[in-house]
Structure 1
């Protein structure tokens, strides 16, 4: 009986889910196929009202386009390079799925082998970029998707977002730009929920990185023309416009060309209408991120007298050092263009490189993008989404509210919460040390042993002693953090130290790029040591301050060990959501100080080497400064300490 109830409930849920898809109104659905082969055509551009709204077909040639009531009297256009543009009046909505056939566009040009004249076409297209592309800032509204497939071709995850992409004037060569993430969602489609991290940072920025015209990619960069061969392939049309199809690739014998592919240049205006290319072996080696293959496809659309970015398609495959192979796929689709004098987004609104959708906890919902144009997932992804949604709904009926959560996922979420509070940084500073010139001699003759050590050293006058610090912080609250740091001296002195304390940080500019006021209090211990060199140990039974030093070779140094409180004040400037530049001024309040002779084992297995220190004054240690017996070293610690550092937030 229980199984029967379960089946009936599952069937009821499937029926409800199916009704949820069919009840969507004012959505135009269709499939684009080749008129001769009747095979589906992916990545065809579908637009309404001169591309005021649009989308692209998925791997099955299907699309779904939300059409506002005000545009239902407009015309539908479907275009793809190599095919004749398809146009017709929009049918009354809602309507059944359209079947659209695209016909091959006849070739317009034959094969041309004269490289010089082809290069002239490319140069002319570059010269006309200010004439063909926006010369003032514009804003694109677009839909972004990324996913990763396992070796069997099944998607591991799906992440989607509604973006605003701010574009600078195309007169300026840049691959940078602001991105705002207006909405986003994710879904993890791994059936076993294996505890591996799937994280492709910076994906939404392909709206800028993939814009080869704006960034003047290498294959249209005059500085690299010498590395490429350019040829004219059989021509075609794009949106009923005749184009030059220019192929490019490395010249014979060169390894300096990173790309190979083809671009489409309109014959009348010399505008770049699109390109498709992949990285050469040299390009993969020169890439920041290692990969086995990387390919891109980019297209532009005409609007308000200029060409604007329409689509970016990006695919990367790589064998990772840890975890399964990566088969990343990302795409961006422009759904609206704002050509008004768009203000630059404020810092607080901008996405950063490490803002990825996979940290979004919004559950996958088929109605999430209601009212927005999206990219329709392929049939295999839709099936995975539906199966997972159906299983989650069934689990919620037959299990307690937290029983369906994998224990490993709960651990990972707790770990994520910990990492979100965790940061670390490196600092460079001037250690406050007054060092006069002096001559030192140190003699050590422990009673009862055969060791007779005598060493001389000169101290150079020094105004600046450099130290480096590595600091870890854990945020107790939004503004208060626990810190632990290690530090090391450089130049003629050596010495390690540590510090533990509390730091307070408050944002002074909450509506702009954060500028923090900083205050802290720490307890530190720092060693300042002068090396005295190495010497042979004639007595394998040597004991120093109760520690056995039996190695054949020993080293010695004379040092001060200082304990102090360290109150500090400073500022921090956020460079990005991950990085912060900090500067601090501190005052050292001395608590105690001691002078020591330290002896270390130099030979033997490094894991078992020991060291020992004798506090001065000591009967078996004779310290002289400028030939005068003393127990104090010539350098003195000053109170003021200045540091400059860079902090990194893990999350």
Structure 2
């Protein structure tokens, strides 16, 4: 067995995410079958103005814990138990008006849901006093100690990791994760422990190469831009970016600045995205950003340390998201998502192999921590953990019960709803 490492590095910081390409002996692990009969509805959610698909739109079957989320093209698959015939489905997404439709509107194929963009006259324009985007971002960083948690805390989170080859799901991992979250004004790193975990891999769909994501929950935890400022927005790197205002908006009924940022130096893969900054407190409440990898040779040189002979490996898309929540006037990490796409080109082969790797984590519980050394009573995992290799000791069939491995197309909230009682009991 040969092992090849693809190392995520970046311009100015050490490795955060990494992949392993591994030649493997063929074997198969079957996905667990569903116990309940479902009716599946497929379609897309589109912008009513231009017909374009809307990604990350949330479809929820009302009065149930069944939900799903659209993919990057706005497409969705919603599975509903056969006996729920009089239900309604609400579709919602940031920036658009929500819509509720009866279940009989949905079809097995070709369902189209049109959403209207939210148009709001902001009457309290005086709240938006900032006139210089760069100064606002600097103020956001300067106020980090005042706006974010200043004491240690314990968080319970749900983590999910999926790997696709083409349109086929080839590897799924999910886990309940315990985090000792260090204060935002401290350089101390967060500690992570796997509480319960499980995995499923279908090697028959991988041909001769398996792709593994190294880092597990740390990949999404390190997206906490305000805790780990060294990875993207180091204060001393402010001059390396250009900042400009986009149209302001509201998040959770709070007026919010939207700042577009972009690295000035585009000679190597470079960051760009949006910062959502609370207008009243100058707090970063959300960030959506990407790493431009259009220069394939530069991206391969930066991210690929070793690769199989006769192949060319390069990333084609790297997207990230982080959301924050507020408790007693202090903000903290609440959700992180990384979406990665890789291509493996083989010599003397007509078709290449495309892989999509998604990892996301959501905090389900938070509480202050005032105990002794947390590490002494918990099995802390390494930042370079590989979920599909290292989680065997955390599997507990009684905990997971009859719940299947959650389908990647479903919202992560759907996974949490299915195991919430077990999480509460434990």
Identify which of 166, 170, 176 aligns with 2:184.
170
Give the structure, 1 or 2, with the largest relative contact order (CA under 8 Å, sep 6 or more). Answer: 2
Q: Deviations for 1:20-61, whole angstroms, at most 9, x for unmatched residues? A: x89xxxxxxxx9977958977626599xxxxxx9x9846438
Call closer, same or farther: CA 1:317–1:254 in 2, change over 3 Å: closer
User: Is the CA contact 1:140–1:166 (under 8 Å) kept in the aligned structure 2?
Assistant: yes
After superposition, what is the alpha-carbon deviation per residue over 1:135-174, rounded to whole angstroms, capped at 9, x for unaligned? 01112211111111113x2111111111112211011246
1:303 is displaced (CA, Å) by: 2.4
Inter-partner Cα distance in structure 2 for 1:358 and 1:257: 29
Determine the C-alpha separation between the residues in 1 that align with 2:36 and 2:153: 40
Task: Tell me how far 1:318 sits from its aligned partner.
Answer: 2.5
Change (3 A) 1:44 1:310: farther
Counterpart of 1:309?
333
Q: CA deviation at 1:262?
A: 0.8
Other-structure match for 1:271:
283
Shift of 1:286: 4.8
2:149 alignment partner, one of 115, 134, 138: 134
Q: Distance in 1 between matches of 2:114 and 2:371?
A: 39
Asked if the contact 1:187–1:364 (Cα under 8 Å) also holds between the matched residues in 2, the reply is no
Q: What is the distance in 1 between the residues matched to 2:363 and 2:44? A: 19
Aligned 1:74-113 pairs, distance under 5 A: 81-83=94-96, 104-106=117-119
C-alpha change, 1:43 and 1:361, in structure 2 (3 Å) is farther
Deviations along 1:533-589, one digit per CA (max 9) or x if unpaired, are xxxxxxxxxxxxxxxxxxxxxxxxxxxxxxxxxxxxxxxxxxxxxxxxxxxxxxxxx
TM-score (norm 1): 0.41
Q: How does 1:249-268 map to 2 (within 5 A)?
A: 249-251=262-264, 255=267, 258-268=270-280
Give 5+ residue unaligned stretches, structure 1: 1-12, 23-30, 47-52, 65-76, 87-99, 381-651
2:383 to 349, 353, 368: 353
CA positional deviation for 1:122: 0.6
How large is the RMSD of aligned CA atoms in angstroms? 4.7
Could you say which residue in structure 2 is the equivalent of 1:228? 241
Tell me, yes or no, if the aligned pair for 2:197 and 2:396 is still in contact at 8 Å: no
SS at match of 2:160: strand
Within the alignment, does 1:331 sit opposite 2:346 as a pair?
no
Using the TM superposition, give the Cα deviation of residue 208 of structure 1 relative to its aligned residue in structure 2, in angstroms.
Answer: 2.5
Cα shift at 1:341: 2.5
- The Cα shift of 1:237 comes to 1.1
Q: Distance in 2 between matches of 1:245 and 1:204?
A: 28
Aligned mates of 1:302, 1:79 — CA distance in 2 = 22
1:108, 1:236 within 8 Å by CA — same for their partners in 2? no
In structure 2, what is the equivalent of residue 148 of structure 1?
A: 163
Where in structure 2 are the equivalents of 1:204-223 lying within 5 Å? 204-217=217-230, 219-223=232-236
Q: Aligned in 2, Cα 1:202/1:63: closer, same or farther, shift over 3 Å?
A: farther
2:36 aligns with 18
CA distance in 1, matches of 2:341, 2:240: 26
Pairs within 5 Å for 1:449-464: none
| SS of residue in 2 equivalent to 1:234 | coil
- State whether residues 275 and 287 of structure 2, in contact with CA within 8 Å, keep that contact through their aligned partners in structure 1: yes
Cα distance change of structure 1 residues 294 and 35 upon mapping to structure 2, 3 Å threshold: closer
Residue 247 of structure 1 deviates from its aligned partner by 0.3
Instruction: Give the C-alpha shift of residue 326 in structure 1.
Output: 3.4
Number of the residue aligned with 1:244? 257
State how far apart, in whole Å, the 2-side matches of 1:154 and 1:350 are: 32
Give the aligned partner of residue 377 of structure 1: 408
Give the conservation status (yes or no) of the 8 Å contact 2:56–2:93: no
CA distance in structure 1 between the partners assigned to 2:92 and 2:161 by the alignment? 24
Deviation at 1:203, TM superposition (A): 1.8
| Structure 2 alignment gaps of length 5 or more | 1-31, 81-89, 100-112, 306-313, 347-351, 412-426
Aligned residue in 2 for 1:120: 135
Structure 2 match to 1:89: none
CA separation of 1:379 and 1:222: change in aligned 2, threshold 3 A: closer
For residue 200 of structure 1, report the CA deviation from its aligned partner. 1.6
Partner Cα separation in structure 2 for residue 45 and residue 237 of structure 1: 21
SS in 2 for 1:330: strand
Contact 2:286 2:322 in 1 (8 A): yes
Residues 1:160 and 2:190 are matched in the alignment: no
State the Cα deviation string for residues 295-329 of structure 1 (Å, max 9, x = none).
11111122232222121110222345889443211
Q: TM-score, normalised by structure 2?
A: 0.61
Task: Report the secondary structure of 1:214's partner residue.
Answer: coil
Deviation at 1:117, TM superposition (A): 1.1
Cα pair 1:133 1:307 within 8 Å, conserved: yes
Change (3 A) 1:33 1:340: farther
8 Å CA contact 1:207–1:312 kept in 2: the answer is yes
**Residues 68 and 410 of structure 2 are in contact (CA less than 8 Å); yes or no, is this contact kept in structure 1?**
no
Corresponding residue SS for 1:212 = coil
- How far is the alpha carbon of 1:189 from its aligned partner? 3.1
Matched residues in 1 for 2:120 and 2:243: separation?
19
Q: How does 1:421-440 map to 2 (within 5 A)?
A: none
Q: Matched residue pairs, number?
A: 319
Structure-2 change in CA distance of 1:266 and 1:363 (3 Å): closer
